[in-house]
Amino acid sequence: MKKTIFLALLLLPAFAVAQDVAPTPAATEQTEPAVQDVAERNKMLYSLGFLLGDNLKRQLILDNEDDYKALSQGMRDNLLNKKSQTDLDKYKPAIIQKYQNDAQIISAKREAAQQEYLANFKKEKGVKELDNGTLIKLSRAGKGKTPKADATVKVHYTGTLIDGTKFDSSRDREEAFETKLTDVIPCWTKALQQMKPGARAKVVCPANTAYGNRPVGQIPANSVLVFDIEMLPERK
């Protein structure tokens, strides 16, 4: 898990890449999709809408069905190039204020949930807290020597937020991850020095041992990260 390179599938960069790709002649000539493709296109667009909705939920607090209806109607009118039903300039300050207020509330709730998660995990049997606050719980001990701080290791891992949202996985890619311990987040540098070849562990990284206040891909700023890490045995 490099500090500067993240291998998860990222929604917004995918949009940017798509904008840079020139249409092929076949694509520009095709005006009517084949009947069998309509259902798949609808599913794709539905999925896009669902993901956009998920992104909005992370930024806004919507209290009831009327809120959702008003928001979706505004989006629908815009997408259909209809005239706005409101004076947009009049409501822009209120929109900005809502984003700011909701961001503070969402951030506070999220921080409280993360602190509760860390406190509960610390109480679990077998959990060890390292000197930088990283938490590790071995489920398989492994054999051999633990790596030094500048060693190169090969691992399989799955990374999630505390709610189980997966943001990256070498297992999904079916490709082990090889790295120097000096090239990963501090949480990994410390935790992997506690693991022997063949070991498997749950590693919980407080935000200051991971990406801190930098959002990275699907990882919001100030996120506690949870990893299922397996250190692969050395080849003989």
Q: 158: phi > 0 → left, psi -120 to 50 → alpha, else beta; which?
A: beta
**Greatest extent of the chain over all pairs of C-alpha atoms, in Å:** 71
Q: How many CB atoms lie within 10 A of CB 209?
A: 23
Using CA atoms, how far apart are residues 135 and 128, in angstroms rounded to an integer? 6
Helix (H, G, I), strand (E, B) or coil at 203: strand
Q: Which residues are catalytic?
A: 157, 167-168, 185, 211, 227
Helix (H, G, I), strand (E, B) or coil at 157: strand
Radius of gyration of the chain (CA): 23
Using CA atoms, how far apart are residues 6 and 27, in angstroms rounded to an integer? 31
Q: Which of 162, 167, 165, 212 is nearest to 187 (CA)?
A: 212
Which residue is listed with tokens 């520009």? Answer: 28
